[in-house]
Amino acid sequence: MLEIKNLTKSFNRIDRKTKKKSNVGIFDISFKAQPGKIFGLIGANGAGKTTTMRIVANLTYPHQGDIFLNEKNYKEIPNLKMLISFVSGETQIYDRLTAYETINLFGEFAGIEKVTLKKRVDELTEKLGMQDFINDIASSFSTGMKQKVSIARALVTDPKVLIFDEVTNGLDIFASKAVKDQIKQLKAEGKIILYSTHIMPDADELCDDVAILHKGKILDEGNVEELKKKYTQKSIEGIFFKLVEPLLQGENNI
């Protein structure tokens, strides 16, 4: 289990137009993500999804709070990055390496033995349907092809936790389906999955549990079906608007 406890990370931001200073980031974020389930972070742009994801991926560090993986604090886990993989719609792959070289690089860094690594890269190539372009330089790849490589490099280390940040952004309908199918399969394999999106139908399709974020704070979190009952809504989108709209009206009145 992945347990996030009271994460806080704030930045001072100056509005270029109004020159007003504001404190943005994430504040006192807590939730639990279970193996074999997909935990969704739902929010508008600037809600704090990516900051939370980056902290969980150990790419950046919180000002306060702790993260526990199977009851062990992140700070006490050696080679933590081998247990977590981060895939982002924004994060690109190296466009001057071949797909094979990129996936292989991540395997090498995880210390996987050469023969095992080759076997694993071959398996992933087949699994994700990358045979036609595995040895091509990535600069000519479509967004869908790049996202497949991103997923493959995330999976090559066989991590316990997978973090997908807006991964279906900009993908066509086929590529988006392929990515979502892959995430479902990883869920079936018992991985702990964190998934962030602002595409609500995707969240409905994939997430078992969600946290609704707004301006760096969790408005509510829990099992999707229970939240639907609680807020008498049929979709996550409905829950989101029910929670966020009153706040937006209040902000506009100030």
Chain positions contacting another protein, by CB under 8 A: 11, 54, 57, 59-61, 79, 81-82, 85-86, 88, 90-97, 101, 105-106, 108-111, 137, 157
Nearer to another protein, 169 or 233 (CB): 169
Using CA atoms, how far residue 191 sits from 8, 143, 152, 226, in Å, is 26, 25, 15, 22
Residue whose CB is less far from another protein, 112 or 227: 112
Q: Which residue number, 104 or 176, has a Cβ lying nearer to another protein?
A: 104
Cβ proximity to another protein, 53 vs 128, nearer residue: 53
Min dist. Cβ of residue 97 to another protein (A): 6
Helices (H), the chain: 49-56, 99-109, 114-127, 143-155, 173-188, 200-206, 224-230, 236-253
Cβ 219 to another protein shortest distance, Å:
26
157 versus 196: smaller Cβ distance to another protein = 157
CA distance 119 to 97: 19
Q: Are the CB atoms for 45 and 20 separated by under 8 Å?
A: no
- Give whichever of 41 and 212 is closer to another protein, judged by the CB atom: 41
Q: Which residues pair with 197 in a beta bridge?
A: 42
Query: What's the closest the beta carbon of residue 130 comes to another protein, in angstroms?
Result: 17
Asked if 56 and 3 touch (Cβ cutoff 8 Å), the reply is no
Instruction: Name the minimum Å distance from CB 94 to another protein.
Output: 6
Q: Minimum distance from CB of 215 to another protein (Å)?
A: 19
Q: Is 28 helix (H, G, I), strand (E, B) or coil?
A: strand
* 28 vs 40: CA distance, rounded Å: 17
Q: What is the dihedral of CA 239, 240, 245, 248, to 10 degrees?
A: 150
Nearest distance from C-beta of residue 153 to another protein, angstroms: 8
